Amino acid sequence: MRVTCHVNGEQRFADDVWPGESLLHVLRERMGLPGAKNACEQGECGSCTVLLDGVAVCACLVAAGQAEGRDVVTVEGLADGDALDPVQQAFLDAGAVQCGFCTPGLVVAVHDLLERDASPSEADVREALAGNLCRCTGYEKILDAVRLASGRAGGTP
């Protein structure tokens, strides 16, 4: 089947999508968008987080057909040309990236959180990111990045 959706501001389609194929697979393998990572494919790690109609979801758990006609934003869609999204910049500045495998999903999740609440409490940050696993950083630098992004946006976490 053909799946057509709006991805990072553009109308995109993929042909010959099989019914059980995930949105993550379509994004990565058919649309040339490898930013969302494929780690567990079970909804456990958050590395594949994208926004679907503005809601953060694990793209590995979304059937591609469910994205028909909907709006998808991946980590590639957050930057404005060469200008990084403020959350991406905060991750760099805080040293919150090691191997980087978890980073795209975390950036999308933090972006989503700060869109909803520019000044989240520490508990709210931890809860919002509970589904995003990182095996490298010990999370402290990631929390620093969230504080940095929030502070730069005018929040006071």
What is the rounded distance in angstroms from the CA atom of residue 157 to the CA atom of residue 96? 17
What is the rounded distance in angstroms from the CA atom of residue 54 to the CA atom of residue 73? 8
Q: How far is the CB of 72 from ligand FES (least distance, A)?
A: 15
Number of H helices, E strands in the chain: 5, 5
Q: Residue 58 or residue 113: which is nearer to ligand FES going by CB?
A: 58
Phi–psi pair at 50, nearest 5 degrees: -135, 170
Q: How far is the CB of 46 from ligand FES (least distance, A)?
A: 5
Q: With 0-12 CB in 10 A as exposed, 13-18 as middle and 19+ as buried, what is 103?
A: buried
Q: Residue 40 or residue 79: which is nearer to ligand FES going by CB?
A: 40
User: Could you give the string, one character per residue 26-65, with x where binding to ligand FES holds by CB under 6 A and - elsewhere?
Assistant: ------------xxxx-xxxxxx---------x-x-----
Positions in 74-133 near ligand FES (CB under 6 A): 97-102
Note the residues at the interface with ligand FES (CB under 6 A).
Answer: 38-41, 43-48, 58, 60, 97-102, 134-137
